[in-house]
Amino acid sequence: MTEATGASMQSWLVAPMDEAVSKGIRRLCRAPDVRHVAVMPDVHLAEDVCVGVAVATAELLYPQAVGGDIGCGMLAVPFAADAVRLREPRFAGRLLARLGELIPARRRHRRRAIAMPDALCAASLSDQRLCALWRSTGVMEFATIGSGNHFVELQSDESGRLWLMVHSGSRAIGPAIRDHHMSSAECVGSGLKCLLAAGESGSAYLNDAAVARRFAAANRRQLALLVEEAAFGADSGSLQWSEAITTDHNHVEHESHGGIDLWVHRKGAMPAWPDQPGVLPGSMGTLSYHVVGRGCAAALCSSAHGAGRILSRTEARRSITTRDLQRQMADVWYDFRQSSRLLDEAPSAYKDIRAVARAQRDLVKVVRVLRPVLSYKGT
């Protein structure tokens, strides 16, 4: 076991970290083999390891610093259409209804089966129980969006062009992979567990996490195709895939930083290598950005992955009313009948995305600003 040495840490913050978040970051910095921790402006408290961090190690893997939703990320792709079309109430209403039919939050709501790509079906996981889950639940959950802050959003850029943004992850298979490998990981204190990257257990985790990432990326692409079908029917080719931007923010990668090979864990942090395109979503009902990375070494070439919560889901449900939500979503089409279920996703439950973007100006450059027109969330 590599001894704890006390990692370096650098942060880009909208406001000072509260004590619980600060305590979690300090604990992470003291963990064995952790060399550097970069804290993003959307950092917020989560189980085990805070969301909004990039963590570098040399030999050890920390599944908790990736989280359960392995491969969760963003897809942005434009339509060959203008956003003005969504000003028509009938069109917007029909589209919301159609999205509810085609894109269920969970597999039990599915109305039609959608096959996974052959390459995914043939993927091999490290344990028989995971393989069985992959063949059953994985197949059933393909082309579902999930709940929480996962979404499909139609947006308008500055020129009025219509864009699609999809946020979803690896569904049930990601948490199953994390839990399976956590059961054999070594305890290092303060509730943290690790795997030796060069060992059999570390190799198995890396294999399984890679499968989850591929599932999540394929899932987002399939969701985009279903949105295209819902919006334009048989008019294939509406999505302009040559301009698509895709990124994920829950993963571990072997990378070179300052000439040193490191395992970089990102949990709610987006890769931001020099000129790398990325997607920085706001909260439901607020602006989002397309960005390119600046390759900031101290940030482990990473950036925020979104606005970041300022209210826990419990706090949001307690303090935000349906009238508050409807007022905050006044200019965005959404299913108002679901308002009571969406209180914890209200814009006021999240940080101001404009402040997040300002706080990380040395991490990414904004290249496009998008305004939400229609938002669909699984409930």
**Domains in the chain, start-ordered, CATH in brackets?**
8-310+350-377 (3.90.1860.10)
Q: What is the mean pLDDT of the chain?
A: 93
* 335 has a pLDDT exceeding 70: yes
pLDDT value for 3: 46
Tell me, what's the pLDDT at 1?
A: 41
**SS3 (DSSP) at 234:** coil
What does the chain come to in residues? 379
Model confidence band, residue 277 (pLDDT cutoffs 50, 70, 90): very high
Q: Residue 18 pLDDT > 70, yes or no?
A: yes
What average pLDDT does this structure show over 85-99?
Answer: 89
- Residues 293 and 272 sit within 8 Å (Cβ to Cβ): yes
What's the pLDDT at 110?
Answer: 61
Q: Can you tell me the distance from the alpha carbon of 152 to that of 164, in angstroms, rounded to the nearest whole number?
A: 7
Q: pTM for the whole thing?
A: 0.94
Mean pLDDT of 42-50: 93
pLDDT of residue 114: 84
User: Which residue, 99, 75, 13, is CA-closest to 281?
Assistant: 75
Has residue 249 got a pLDDT over 80?
yes
Answer yes or no: is pLDDT of 217 > 50: yes
CA distances from 233 to 96, 156, 227, 230, 300 (A): 14, 20, 9, 6, 43
Mean pLDDT in residue range 242-261? 97
Residue 85 has pLDDT above 60, yes or no: yes
Q: Looking at 66-75, 164-173, 334-343, which range is the least confident one?
A: 334-343
Residue-level pLDDT at 379:
66
Alpha helices, DSSP H only, in 122-189? 128-133, 139-141, 173-182
H/E stretch holding 185: none
Average confidence (pLDDT) over 182-204: 96
Lowest mean pLDDT among 223-237, 265-279, 331-345: 223-237
Question: Across residues 149-160, what is the average pLDDT?
Answer: 95
pLDDT for 2 equals 44
